[in-house]
Chain A
Amino acid sequence: MNGAPRTAELFLEALCTETAFRDDLVGDFAEELSQRAGRDGARAARRWYYRELLRTTPHVAASWLSRLTAREARRLIAIGFSALTFLIVLDVLALLLAKGLAWQFGLVHSVSAFRLHGVGWNVAILTFATLNACLGGFIAAAVGDRTPLLSGFALGVVWTSVDLLVRGVMLLSTAALHPWLSMAFGVLVGVVMVGLTIAGAMIRIRTSGQSLPRAALGT
């Protein structure tokens, strides 16, 4: 027990794809944390840990991307595309089944953030769907060790169900017509999806000892 925030330490361990590098990095964090705790107090040291973790993450992620193997790159692309395909197919089916509900309060409101910046409807819808599909593809890939196609399918089912449910709730509230609420909804969904991705990957890491990026890609 070195006083490091357990979740943050687990995330840091998960982030590194190489075991040796992982030990060096986590060890440095632990050593500096212990020195700072003695000098500035445990609370300030923990704050430093979280802040430093945020600063370190992009460097480690960039390092991983620069060493991406051909298999991982192929899988990354495959997850994005298959997730997008399934999302669009399922969303269109859902729109046909619940046309009034979904069309009135669905995509139109979801893309209002883009519309505020003067982007056309088609571009806005496609961009929104792509972003969601890519994010969601990682959720599915993170929670299950399946092929990208099945991961995308899992995403489509989860995403469409949640999407319709939230749109239904929004329909019951007149306040939901406010564009800022729609934007907030989009942001909230994004945050939840990223959170689920990390949580799902963490589960796999704990059981398989993989790194976060590799667990997310299922390689």
Chain B
Amino acid sequence: MATSPLGPLELAVLLAVARLGDDAYGLAVRRDLSARLNRDYSVGATYTTLQRLEEKGLLASRTTAPLPVRGGRSRRQFSVTGAGRKAIRDAQRVAASVWAGVGPTIKPEPA
């Protein structure tokens, strides 16, 4: 099934969920993104992206039991679906293809 191309934030969120494994819920994903991309993403931006990816079938989610630290609310834990893994591989292949041959012409920045 062909899926629409992933935006940069969508890909970053998808990868964060893949990386976090069983600990992939909104807050953890947001922290992972902020640490890696050095940018403070809002809770809303993270959740709407997670929701969009789930609608595209790239993520699946399950709800945990309510937790006191969350004011009695449960967590939604995300996992990457088969379609999501394929989308990651496709994105990696496209990136490799786009970058192919560029390396020697780009000099590393001085430290």
Contacts and interface: CB of A to CB of B under 8 A. Distances in A.
Interface in A45-79: 52, 55-60, 62-63
A29 B70 CA distance: 8
B59 to A, nearest CB: 13
Main secondary structure of the interface of B (DSSP, over half): helix
Given A57-B44, A60-B48, A32 B73 contact: no
B43 interface: yes
A24 B44 contact: no
Contacts of A21: 47, 51
A21 B74 CA distance: 11
A25 interface: yes
Contacts of A59: 42, 44-45, 47-48
A7 to B, nearest CB: 15
Contacts of B45: 55-56, 59
Nearest to A60: B44
A60 B50 CA distance: 12
Contacts of A23: 73-74, 76
Interface of B: 25-27, 30, 42-45, 47-48, 51-52, 63, 67, 69-71, 73-76
21 contacts: A4-B71, A20-B63, A23-B76, A24-B26, A24-B75, A25-B43, A27-B75, A29-B43, A30-B73, A31-B67, A31-B70, A32-B27, A55-B42, A55-B44, A55-B45, A56-B44, A56-B45, A58-B44, A59-B47, A62-B48, A63-B48
Given A23-B73, A24-B73, A31-B67, 17 more contacts: A2-B69, A20-B63, A24-B75, A25-B44, A27-B73, A27-B74, A28-B70, A31-B70, A32-B43, A52-B42, A52-B43, A55-B42, A56-B42, A58-B44, A59-B42, A63-B51, A63-B52
